[in-house]
Amino acid sequence: MPIVSSDGTVKSDIDRKGRILIVEGSPLYTNLIKVAVKNVFSGPVDTAANFDDVKRLTVEHCGEYFLALLNLALPGAAFGEAVSYVRSLNIPSIVFTGSIETEVVERIRAYGVIDYIFKENIANLELVSRTVRRLDHNRRTNVLLTDDSSLSRAIICPHLEKHMFNVTQAEDGVEALELLKGPNDFQLLIVDYVMPRMNGFELVKEVRSFKNSRELAIVGMSAKTDGSLAANFIRFGADDFVNKPINPEIFTTRIAMCMDKKDMLNELMLRATTDYLTKLWNRRHFMNTAKVLYSSAEREQIRITIVMIDLDLFKAVNDTYGHEAGDEVLRKVSASLKTRTRESDVLARIGGEEFCLLAINVEPKSQESFLNDILETISSITFNFDGKEVSISASMGVTTELGTSLDDMMIRADNALYKAKEQGRARFVLAE
């Protein structure tokens, strides 16, 4: 089911709109903003110092900008002409202003911009980074807005879409539950309390039985003035609560804080389970996951193969070309191994130049070709160090017999790995 905006149009491809436009007359401030943006955004960043640059760049990169950061006043366009022009092209915009006068702020809002940022000092550049990162994430975030009031949905939906969320609407808790159990990858649920068939509490309680806070953020809302509603929403598993009718600035700020919390939880989990250099799973995650899969294999639900992989003569690379060269080898080998393993397999760096692969349901007749493919993948990688072309090989120990435990399997695979080294490296040996 495609994500559809409130006016019924299908959302465009987000990857096509992969540029940011910075419009600022001060070269110093332009560079500072660009650095702040580049810290959180990997796409192209264009800069315009005047109105003519703005018109030229928007023609040259028509349809590519997902965001513009603009100074309200420019040389030759002191009264917001550049902002008006960019908004006429439907480019979402953030406006910089040095004035906090109500008249100026209201004029900025009238352009339909996402937000405005005061140019008070360099410290506000952190706000620029946070805002760009949040909006870049938002355009990849699917939101399920659940409210039985079509009027309420019509009021709330544009505020979410203004902040680049992809919004799907549900009329009650039962419809929302069906959507959440379906193929759509929702990251945020906004749910009203009073609804027919299933109220907000019931929906949140049901959803939390299969979606945790790292997978789905939940914000409850209600027009009721009962002070216990917010606390009860959070007791049932919501992450935050807002009162209706919503205040747009408070609402979008609370939503942003909620999504930042979700991102932080996922970042912490990633750091706890991932090897920092190779981005493969780390030993801790491998062991936790492998133990579960081993138990499934004991119950004859799956077959597992343990493959210990060790890079040959890796120390010589470090000693000859330096540790940065060694790190490059580990990163490239890891990336190549990921392309040769299946989603069901578990691949981890378990220490130094050693990797471990748990492969599920490898057919016995294809096992040899599967293992040789891994060896060939590694040996086909070339590196250029100090003008010299360098390649590397690997040795592997393999076991498919469950034995007495997962540790027993890994020990036998490790012993087979040492035999592969003794037999001349660049090969695999099956454990006895």
Q: Name the average pLDDT for the chain.
A: 91
Name which of 142-146, 149-153, 303-307, 403-407 the model is least confident about.
Answer: 403-407
pLDDT, position 75: 78
Do residues 305 and 359 make contact, with C-beta atoms less than 8 angstroms apart?
A: yes
**pLDDT score recorded for residue 16:** 59
The answer to whether residue 149 scores a pLDDT higher than 90 is yes
pLDDT at residue number 9: 43
User: SS3 breakdown of the chain: % helix, strand, coil, rounded to 5?
Assistant: 45, 20, 35
Cα-Cα-Cα-Cα torsion 69, 74, 76, 78, nearest 10 degrees, comes to 110
- Residue 232 CA: distances (Å) to CA of 227, 280, 297, 425: 9, 40, 42, 62
Instruction: Please state whether the predicted TM-score (pTM) of the whole model is above 0.85.
Output: no
| Continuous H helices in 181-309 | 200-207, 228-236, 248-273, 283-298
DSSP annotation of 426 reads S
The span from the CA of 398 to the CA of 420, in Å, is 10
pLDDT score at 1: 38
Task: Report d(CA 97, CA 79) in Å as an integer.
Answer: 11
Closest C-alpha to 293, from 411, 409, 209, 417: 409
Beta bridge partners of 222: 243
Confidence of residue 2 (pLDDT cuts 50, 70, 90): very low
Task: Work out the pLDDT band at 336, boundaries 50, 70, 90.
Answer: very high
Residues ≥6 apart with Cβ < 8 Å to 90? none
Domains of the chain: 19-129 (3.40.50.2300), 141-271 (3.40.50.2300), 283-430 (3.30.70.270)
* For residues 75-102, average pLDDT: 88
Top pLDDT among 396 and 182 is at 396
Q: Is 75 exposed, middle or buried (0-12, 13-18, 19+ CB in 10 A)?
A: exposed
| Residue 14: pLDDT band with limits 50, 70, 90 | low
